[in-house]
Amino acid sequence: MPPRLTAMPPRLASPAPRIGPAQGDARAQDRERDRVKPWRAWYRTARWRKLRRKILARAGHVCEQTGVPLLGRAPAPDSAVIDHIRPHRGDPALFWDEDNLQAVSKAWHDGAKQRAERAAGD
């Protein structure tokens, strides 16, 4: 009787389980951040929108760090970002403090500000 053919064992290991949202799934990443940091909901309130307009008007729609006119619409580099000078880390007093807010360009906020915060360990 001739030998029987048998299935070859797989040569590749099964992929490691994925933890968290898939790369590039911005909505899922936002939902996860919201779950971990519930204060992020404050950015979606009418109170924040009103305060944001007030800070932009106070700055004359000009970046307080670079002097660039804040004319763009997100995600443009010259779009307006209202930045917390001192990180609030969920502290409502710091979050809503007008003296702790500045109008800056998205380019400055996403570049120089983020580098400084990472260097400081914030």
Let me know: does 61 contact 80? Beta carbons within 8 Å: yes
Task: Identify the CA nearest to 84 among candidates 121, 37, 47, 52.
Answer: 52
pLDDT in tens, 31-52: 888 888 888 999 999 999 999 9
Q: Residue 90: which residues within 8 A CB-CB, separation 6 or more? A: 37, 38, 39
Angstrom CA distances, 66 to 34, 60, 106, 107, 113, stand at: 30, 13, 11, 10, 12
End-to-end CA distance of the chain: 73
pTM of the model: 0.72
DSSP state of 59: T
pLDDT in tens, 91-121: 999 999 999 999 999 999 999 999 988 888 7
